Amino acid sequence: MREARFYDKLDENKVHCHLCAHECHIDPGKRGICQVRENREGTLFSLVYGRVVAENLDPIEKKPLFHFLPGSRSYSISTVGCNFQCLHCQNYDISQYPRLHEGRIIGTERTPEQIVAAAQASRAATISYTYVEPTIFMEFAQDIGHLAHTKGIRNVFVSNGFMTPLSADALAEFVDADNVDLKSFSDDFYRKVCKAKLKPVLETIGRLKEKGVWLEITTLVIPGLNDSEAELTQIARFIRSLDAGIPWHVSAFYPTYQMLDRPRTPPETLLRAREIGLAEGLRYVYTGNIPGRGGEDTLCPGCGETLIARLGYQIRGFILKDGACPKCGTAIDGVWK
């Protein structure tokens, strides 16, 4: 447990948390929506600082990041808790753990020094803050991230983007890449499915882009909820309005947690989403969770040459040369070394 950052003290021992876009006002003895920040007599504490519930060495492609140090490994960590309550959460057992277990906090105690040392020992190129919404353990991520930079290790967020300008700016100081879930282009979807709002996510994506964080966007395409051509077109146009070189990952949904009434996403839907993204001018659109069905390779937007061939998280071929197509010389957006 550690005193939180990103909050103001109010009268009557109340506090105003500015960490995420919920902007919780928290009474004494109560917690924020994330369930891991608690007001104790007018001081806000992070209950998950140094409480790690998951540690894994993952391929960077699993984040998914396809244009950021491809083929490298990322030391991936998480605590419990989340500021969303997505009905289809694939990691609900840890993201919703405090909510499902009467506020209980679990995790193995780790210091930032231990996490960075473990990443060094595993020869990871990056540390990823992932599996749940990492904004909720921002203080821990900050301390790890700044230390990691001194050791030549870069930092990756896998985020829902539901931040405040204050926390987004703090993130940009130590995070090198962020894959942001843009779950829908409908505020109604965000309210009903995630108990959140769309606008702050769009604002965060734009802000991180301005700050120079490498961005990739993921949309989990759910049959009957966000899979219409109109909505997929809106998402593609939004990304294109920021930068046509931002990769867009359209991934297949499968029934889980409290959303068991929807079928798996047909591969044809994702392939069509990819076509929409490319038609709207995006240079790189990838399909996820349907390995071997096409849409995983990085193609040169200039001549169509296959530059990085993939199957799932595995790279099967790589002919990029100094970040450019060796055939026609087109520069390929990304961080390659």
Domain segments of the chain: what residues? 2-46, 51-296, 297-337
Q: What pLDDT score was predicted for residue 294?
A: 86
Q: What pLDDT score was predicted for residue 34?
A: 98
Q: What pLDDT score was predicted for residue 255?
A: 97
Strands 25-26 and 15-17 come out as: antiparallel
Give the separation between CA 326 and CA 187, rounded to whole angstroms. 43
Tokens of 323: 């970040």
Q: Which amino acid is at 193?
A: V
Q: Is the pTM of this model over 0.85?
A: yes
Neighbours of 279 (CB within 10 A): 11
Neighbours of 224 (CB within 10 A): 9
pLDDT, tens digit only, all 337 positions of the chain: 899 999 999 999 999 999 999 999 999 999 999 999 999 999 999 999 999 999 999 999 999 999 999 999 999 999 999 999 999 999 999 999 999 999 999 999 999 999 999 999 999 999 999 999 999 999 999 999 999 999 999 999 999 999 999 999 999 999 999 999 999 999 999 999 999 999 999 999 999 999 999 999 999 999 999 999 999 999 999 999 999 999 999 999 999 999 999 999 999 999 999 999 999 999 999 999 999 888 999 999 999 999 999 999 999 999 999 999 999 999 999 999 9
Give the separation between CA 34 and CA 132, rounded to whole angstroms. 11
First to last CA, the chain: 36
Task: Classify 51-296 by CATH class.
Answer: alpha beta
